Each structure stands twice: as structure tokens, then as C-alpha cells.
Amino acid sequence: MEIIKQAPSLRADDDPEVVRRVTEIINNIRQEGETAVRRLARELDDWEQDFVLSDEKRTALISQVSEQTKTDLQFAWHQIKRFAQAQMDS
């Protein structure tokens, strides 16, 4: 097959600037932990809220989810857990 025009690569690891930035982010998180994560959330996403929901907020949000959705999520969780366990056991 003759290739007339090669499409540009869409892989992030082909871009040295992306590799450099990701490496920098990972190193910062390793060194500074949650402080680095909070700084990145602020810089990249303009996010300065808590990362963990309060019990009250969690309860309020859960109460808005239908019983059918809760049942479906529980079923999916059990299926995923069973599959993961089977993979680890094999």
C-alpha cells in the first residue's frame, strides 16, 4: 500500500513538551503530595473547594439518586469486583 500523506501522530508521548509537563506534575505530586494536587487543581481547573465531601453533603447527594440507579450501581460494582478477583486468582 502506498501512503500518500502520513497523518500526524495523536499520541501524547510523541510530544516532548507533554512528556516534560507530565513528568514535572508527577514529580511534584511525589514530593509535595496533597499540596501539589491542590495547587494543580487551582492552576489547571480553577478548583479551590474541598476534595472530600462532608457526611451531610454526601447524604444529601445520595438521597437524590433513584433506588433503581443505586441497585444498578451495586450490581455493576459486584460484577466488576468478581471479574477483578477472577483475574487476580488466575
Q: Find all residues with CB under 8 Å of 51, minimum gap 6, and list them.
A: 37, 38, 41
Residue ranges of the domains in the chain?
Answer: 11-51, 52-90
For the chain, how long is the longest CA-to-CA vector?
Answer: 63
Average pLDDT over residues 74-90: 96
Higher pLDDT, 64 or 3: 64
Q: How confident is the model at residue 57 (pLDDT cuts 50, 70, 90)?
A: very high
Cβ proximity of 53 and 45 under 8 Å? no
For the chain, what percent of residues have pLDDT higher than 90?
76
Whether the CB-CB separation of 31 and 25 falls below 8 Å is answered with no
Q: Minimum mean pLDDT among 47-51, 67-71, 74-78: which range? A: 47-51
User: Would the pTM of this model clear 0.75, i.e. be above it?
Assistant: no
pLDDT of residue 15: 85
